[in-house]
Structure 1
Amino acid sequence: MQRITRNSVIKSVRAFFSRSKADNAVDAQIRGTLVDSLYSSPLNLAIGAITGLVIAFYTAYSIDDVALQSVAYALAAVVAFRFSIIVAHRFSNGEDSRTLELLFEIGAFAYALAVGAMATLAIVEGVDPLAQMVLTVYAVGYATAIAPRNAGRPVIALVQMLLILGPISVGLLLSEASLAHALGIVALLHIPSVTTITLKVYRSLRNSIISAQANAELANEMRELARTDVVTGLANRAGLDHAVAETIEHSEEGASLALIWIDLDRFKEVNDVLGHPVGDKVLRGVANRLIDVSPDGSTVARFGGDEFIVFCPVDNLKHAELIASEIHFEIMCPLRVDGELLEIRASLGVAIIPDNAVDADQLMQRADLALYHAKVGGRAQTCFYDPSMSRDLVRRREIEAELRIAIQRDELSIFFQPIVDLETGRIRCFEALVRWFHPEKGELSPGEFIPVAEETGVIVTLGNWITVQAARIAATWPEDVTLAVNLSPLQIRAPGAALGIKNALREAGLDPHRLELEVTESLFIEDNHSTSAFIEELSALGVRFALDDFGTGYSSLGYINKFPFSKIKVDRSFVSGSEAGQKSDAIIRAVAKMGATLGMDIVAEGLETPEQVKTVRDAGCNLGQGYHFSRAVPDYLAAMLLAQERENTAFRAIA
């Protein structure tokens, strides 16, 4: 048994010294934690010290020994010193762990030396046996208890134990009593036993700290990964939220912070045409540019998809404008990907705290609102938040909610504006236009609620309702009069769009040949398969299609060549707009000539005067629409116009 104990001690000591170099390399955090363990539970230290003082003074004065009394006073001085160290540690916040460790060593060694000296002195001087027993029992008990308690720094624990048990063992062995010799041998054997326990406690404590630190580092890495975008390496949405909250919390009161929200315009086309790998390279290229151009202290994040955010400190509004301008310019520069130069366009929305917002959520909302206005305003531009944007948003939400209710309550009406044959003056077609007479706000302009309907998706429900109502009314007209209905791109791309038109025709009993669906050029910006399928399916049924607002959007003759348009409507800006003139007349002539060659009707919109009617007729337009002929009228007035026209025709025939 003794051999096993000795081997275990040797192994423990070897392991301790083999780790000494590694222990010296233990980083400050682990060392600080170990040193903190020395100062943990100061109450225990206080109880032990006070107990030692009571025993020392009571024993020394009860036997009236001057030497023991002197040591007792020295012990009291050491206790006072150790208490001062504990107080200093409480106010140090764990800083300068090496100094704290050294001070602890001095106090611990001095206390252990005093305790060991008192017990040894009592044995050597042969004082009262009871006093020897009291001092020796306290000293051995203290050495045994304090060693594992201070195992966080094994050197301190073992030296304390040796300073106590070493002198006591020697004193007992030098004593004349044979029983004291036995106790001296037991005290010596107690040293390796306590040493083994101390080193085991040390290893366990140290490994626990290292394991905890490793787990904390792993948790930090996982947290960073969770806050990082895998494609660009920038912060993702979670990382951005964390950075924004942290920055705002630690910013000085009144400091300005700008949030610049960036959206790449039509990035979907890059993925669709060039593929997602190229799209990812574009995103990484944009990310690198944002990092390069963003000021120090900025957080650059990919918010998701093709959206990025730069959150940065600014001096004032002018400074924010400068940064946004530099970012916009940098993104707009051609980007080389796989040897090919790509033109990247972006829209930016900017909001500033505290000018525009009081917290992070409000800042995000208002930057997003500014971005929305940048995109609605034509894209590829920068918009700064303005309070009017919030008022517009409230107004749009109000309109959206009331529009849904208006459709259910039949508060909407269908009006019809005639399209007239410029040669005969006869009505060839009526265009269906929606009107909203609000019970409280009066008539609301289509320009106010149609854009809201398109933005919110209500246009799908609204468009289907218009088609159904208009088809029912048109079915009552003469068969040579057609119906024109405007369709939104959203309505066309909605699932079952063609089926909805078919159902409207069937329920109304309207011949498909009498229905014209007007679409704008914006429908063809994205090469969407559903658009082609929609047009092909209804064209096969006999429904005709007209290209509305020609000349104002992304005009392309390719659309006319690819799709079966039977009519082109020249936008009113060429007829009665501020740009109307010699050049616009030439454009109208060119379009009219093309239409005549292709067998298509050409409609001139916005005719308000006889002179304009003559101009477009001379230019080759065969149909006209505008206030000169009639405003949009309710269904019963449309029926009256047709009836009057038929009566006049019959009267002229009789005459």
Structure 2
Amino acid sequence: MDGRNKSLRWKQFFACEAAADPLSEKAHTALVGSLYRRRAALGIGAVTCALASAAVAFISDIVLLYALTSLLSVIAVFRILNASRAAEGPEDVSPVKLELTYRLGAFAFSLVLGLIAASAVALEIDPMAQVLIISNAIGYGIGICAHNAARPTIAFGQLTLVCSPIVIAALFEGSVAAAFLALTIALLFPAMYSIVSSIFRALRDSLHAADRSAALAAEMEVIAMTDPVTGLANRPGLNRRLPEVLEQAEGLYQIALFWLDLDRFKEVNDLKGHQIGDAVLTTIGQRLSKLVEGRGTVARFAGDEFVIAAAVESRPGASLLASQILGEVRRAMRVEGERIEMDASVGIALTPDDGTTADELMRHADLALFEAKAVGRSQVRFFDRAMTADLNQRREIEAELRLALTREELTVHYQPIVDLATGRIRCFEALARWTHPKLGEIRPDVFIPIAEDCGAIVSLGNWLTGEAARAAASWPSDVRVAVNLSPLQIRAPGSALGILRAIREAGLPPERLELEVTENLFLEDSPHIALFIEELSRAGVRFALDDFGAGYSSLGYISQWPFSKIKVDRSFVSGARAGRKSDAIIYAVAQMGRTLGIEIVAEGIETRKQVRLVRAAGCTLGQGYHFGRAVPSEIAAQLLADERTAGASRQARLRAG
């Protein structure tokens, strides 16, 4: 039983090197490298043994010992040169070849040294010479076990080859002392087995832990560079990949950077749920990856934004690829039974004209995307140097706009909306005006879009509503005030309560407030819009549909929402569309308004002729420069007072007559 256990232990020992197999090639290389790491010790050991052998050969003057010493010296020189070569360029030689070379040299050296010591015992030379060579041989065998513990088969193989000949020679010698020498040497084997295996396990476990840590670090790096939803590169992944793409393309072809922003993706998430939203992103990511496969890379840069870097031959080639990108985005998809159609805006920057570094291209593509979104949805824009100046101006205005309210630079002007039958003012539209102390007057069509982009429109809209309500509270009770609302203001949490609080604090009855919204608002089909309109309508606030005919006009909006007024876009009255066809359209809208009990306002009236035309068409109200421009609140109040005074005078004359 004991013999079987010993056999098992020996098998485990010689198999312990195999435990290193699961380690990476890097770990195996490290273990093999440890064989060559202590070259000085290897050289000293080889020289010491060679000198001891030479001394024994000289003392005994035996040809066999001279021959074995010469062979040992040659092997020693070979091992020292091999160790030096391995230290200079181990990357040029495979670990397997390095280990094999070391193993052959080590085994040869150990065997020859063991044979020299055994010969010294067998030939009965000078006792001190025997002690010299035997002590050197055994010392070498013990020392080499610690030195080569990283590869146990080499360590134990050397110990066996150097000691076994001595044990055999001692047993053949036949004396009691020789027998005890053989026994003590034999006892070295289990002792050195324990030491070697202990050192090897420590090395193996250390390398295995380092291997696992490296693998985990690599895995974490991949996770950190990958978008979890789409499996594409994320922002850090793109930041790492893009410079590589540019470097590979340098001097060979152009790289076009497409920054793509999905239109109305937020509504998909809000209405359909995040699960469907994620599926949409994944589908679009897969389509884009397939489109540029082999010539570009795709990353999900932010929530609904993708960045594509692709090789192109020219600017027209980039334009064609942009069309293909939009085609993939617009292609209808079915997710969990839902048919979903998306659209996108795209900004493009192209090497080398728009930049040669990743930062330049990203910055310029972002500017181009900003311009694409500024002119409307589903647009494509290439970067232009003028965009940088425009951006700087926009940033300056944005920064100043945030301070304008606190510095009281913003004011409210009021443009009259008159009754076409009587000429009396029925309503004033409240319009924000901004006079900057240095920049002068900044037009609403400049700062309102900037306010919408930076989120300041919510504060601006709330302020405008409050100011308009306070001014209207001092007007005659039959005159209303109209305020334009931004979709962002409507979506803001508590926006309806904010408006009701503003008119309550101003003392204005809800029915005297009109909120003007555009048709584009209803394209989003958001539940927030329905709740907003329902809550305010229930309180008595009136709603007007502004710029009717300028966008995606639909009679469905009119039947679905509680509009009390429709404002026909100025382009039908005084713009390029004005003419016989536009007159017919105004007439049709006016007749519809009469049937539904909705007032129709003609915008942009500038001449008496236009007054007669829209009045004949059936419009009930008019607005435009013909009736007056927007004026400060005190002048608006004076206009109403003058109108009331003139009306009272006419009535007095009638009574006197």
- Normalised by the length of structure 1, the TM-score is 0.89
Identify the residue that residue 624 of structure 1 maps to in structure 2: 622
Q: What does the per-residue CA deviation read over 1:626-647, in whole Å, with 9 as the maximum and x for residues that have no partner?
A: 1122222223333343344345
Identify the residue that residue 74 of structure 2 maps to in structure 1: 77
Shift of 1:27: 6.9
Identify the residue that residue 545 of structure 1 maps to in structure 2: 543
Shift of 1:593: 0.8
Shift of 1:158: 3.1
Q: In structure 1, give the amino acid aligned to 2:112.
A: A
The 5 Å alignment of 1:491-530 reads 491-530=489-528
State how far apart, in whole Å, the 2-side matches of 1:328 and 1:50 are.
76
Gaps spanning 5+ residues in structure 2: where?
none
Identify the residue that residue 637 of structure 1 maps to in structure 2: 635
Q: What does the per-residue CA deviation read over 1:554-598, in whole Å, with 9 as the maximum and x for residues that have no partner?
A: 322233223322211111111122222222211111111111122
Identify the residue that residue 399 of structure 2 maps to in structure 1: 401
Q: Does 1:51 align with 2:44?
A: no
1:278–1:503 distance in 2 versus 1, CA, 3 Å: closer
Contact 1:519–1:547 (Cα < 8 Å) also in 2:
yes
Q: In structure 1, give the amino acid aligned to 2:141.
A: A
Q: Does 1:260 align with 2:262?
A: no
Gaps spanning 5+ residues in structure 1: where?
none
Shift of 1:650: 4.8
State how far apart, in whole Å, the 1-side matches of 2:473 and 2:186 are.
117
Identify the residue that residue 554 of structure 2 maps to in structure 1: 556
State how far apart, in whole Å, the 2-side matches of 1:647 and 1:584 are.
38
Percent of paired sites with the same residue:
50
State how far apart, in whole Å, the 2-side matches of 1:588 and 1:356 are.
48
State how far apart, in whole Å, the 1-side matches of 2:203 and 2:117 are.
32
Identify the residue that residue 481 of structure 1 maps to in structure 2: 479
Tell me the SS of whatever aligns to 1:416: strand
Tell me the SS of whatever aligns to 2:259: strand
Q: What does the per-residue CA deviation read over 1:227-247, in whole Å, with 9 as the maximum and x for residues that have no partner?
A: 444443333445444444665
The 5 Å alignment of 1:191-270 reads 191-195=189-193, 197-198=195-196, 201-202=199-200, 205-206=203-204, 209-210=207-208, 212-244=210-242, 256-270=254-268
Contact 2:267–2:526 (Cα < 8 Å) also in 1:
no
Contact 1:295–1:312 (Cα < 8 Å) also in 2:
no
Shift of 1:302: 3.2
Identify the residue that residue 390 of structure 1 maps to in structure 2: 388
Shift of 1:223: 4.2
Contact 2:39–2:84 (Cα < 8 Å) also in 1:
no
Q: Does 1:37 align with 2:34?
A: yes
State how far apart, in whole Å, the 2-side matches of 1:81 and 1:603 are.
104
Tell me the SS of whatever aligns to 1:409: coil
State how far apart, in whole Å, the 2-side matches of 1:28 and 1:529 are.
59
1:83–1:579 distance in 2 versus 1, CA, 3 Å: farther
Shifted more, 304-313 versus 88-97: the winner is: 304-313
The 5 Å alignment of 1:348-363 reads 348-352=346-350, 355-357=353-355, 359-363=357-361
The 5 Å alignment of 1:78-93 reads 78-90=75-87, 91-93=89-91
Identify the residue that residue 183 of structure 1 maps to in structure 2: 181
Which of 564, 567, 571 is 2:565 aligned to?
567
Tell me the SS of whatever aligns to 2:601: strand
Figure out how many residues of one structure are paired with residues of the other and give that number. 652
1:103–1:176 distance in 2 versus 1, CA, 3 Å: same
The 5 Å alignment of 1:314-325 reads 314=312, 317-325=315-323
Identify the residue that residue 12 of structure 1 maps to in structure 2: 9
State how far apart, in whole Å, the 1-side matches of 2:240 and 2:16 are.
40
Shift of 1:151: 3.6
Shift of 1:224: 3.4
Shift of 1:100: 1.4
Contact 2:544–2:565 (Cα < 8 Å) also in 1:
yes
Identify the residue that residue 291 of structure 2 maps to in structure 1: 293
1:345–1:71 distance in 2 versus 1, CA, 3 Å: same
Identify the residue that residue 370 of structure 2 maps to in structure 1: 372
1:440–1:208 distance in 2 versus 1, CA, 3 Å: closer
Identify the residue that residue 611 of structure 1 maps to in structure 2: 609
State how far apart, in whole Å, the 2-side matches of 1:208 and 1:451 are.
62
1:537–1:383 distance in 2 versus 1, CA, 3 Å: same
Shift of 1:529: 3.8
State how far apart, in whole Å, the 2-side matches of 1:528 and 1:103 are.
75
State how far apart, in whole Å, the 1-side matches of 2:141 and 2:5 are.
20
Which of 130, 145, 148 is 1:147 aligned to?
145
Q: What does the per-residue CA deviation read over 1:334-364, in whole Å, with 9 as the maximum and x for residues that have no partner?
A: 3244566543322223334665456545544
1:542–1:186 distance in 2 versus 1, CA, 3 Å: closer
Shifted more, 431-440 versus 213-222: the winner is: 213-222
1:78–1:316 distance in 2 versus 1, CA, 3 Å: farther
1:334–1:562 distance in 2 versus 1, CA, 3 Å: closer
1:538–1:321 distance in 2 versus 1, CA, 3 Å: closer
Contact 2:600–2:621 (Cα < 8 Å) also in 1:
yes
Identify the residue that residue 531 of structure 1 maps to in structure 2: 529
Contact 2:24–2:211 (Cα < 8 Å) also in 1:
no
Shifted more, 236-245 versus 83-92: the winner is: 236-245
Q: In structure 2, give the amino acid aligned to 1:375.
A: K
Contact 2:14–2:152 (Cα < 8 Å) also in 1:
no
Shift of 1:270: 3.7
Identify the residue that residue 583 of structure 2 maps to in structure 1: 585
Contact 1:261–1:368 (Cα < 8 Å) also in 2:
yes
Shift of 1:624: 1.3
Q: What does the per-residue CA deviation read over 1:172-229, in whole Å, with 9 as the maximum and x for residues that have no partner?
A: 2333654223212322343454346445655664565455445544544454345444
Tell me the SS of whatever aligns to 2:405: helix
Q: In structure 1, give the amino acid aligned to 2:438.
A: E
- What is the RMSD computed on CA atoms of the aligned residues? 3.3
Identify the residue that residue 98 of structure 2 maps to in structure 1: 100
State how far apart, in whole Å, the 2-side matches of 1:199 and 1:7 are.
20
Q: What does the per-residue CA deviation read over 1:535-560, in whole Å, with 9 as the maximum and x for residues that have no partner?
A: 33433443322111111223222332
Q: In structure 2, give the amino acid aligned to 1:587.
A: I
Q: Does 1:471 align with 2:469?
A: yes
The 5 Å alignment of 1:96-135 reads 96-135=94-133
Q: Does 1:432 align with 2:430?
A: yes
Contact 2:256–2:311 (Cα < 8 Å) also in 1:
yes
State how far apart, in whole Å, the 2-side matches of 1:56 and 1:313 are.
71
1:186–1:353 distance in 2 versus 1, CA, 3 Å: farther
Q: What does the per-residue CA deviation read over 1:104-153, in whole Å, with 9 as the maximum and x for residues that have no partner?
A: 12221232233223323333343332222122111101112213432443
State how far apart, in whole Å, the 1-side matches of 2:507 and 2:18 are.
95
Q: In structure 2, give the amino acid aligned to 1:34.
A: L
State how far apart, in whole Å, the 2-side matches of 1:373 and 1:149 are.
70
1:352–1:600 distance in 2 versus 1, CA, 3 Å: same
- Normalised by the length of structure 2, the TM-score is 0.88
Shift of 1:604: 0.9
Contact 2:20–2:204 (Cα < 8 Å) also in 1:
no
State how far apart, in whole Å, the 2-side matches of 1:507 and 1:341 are.
47
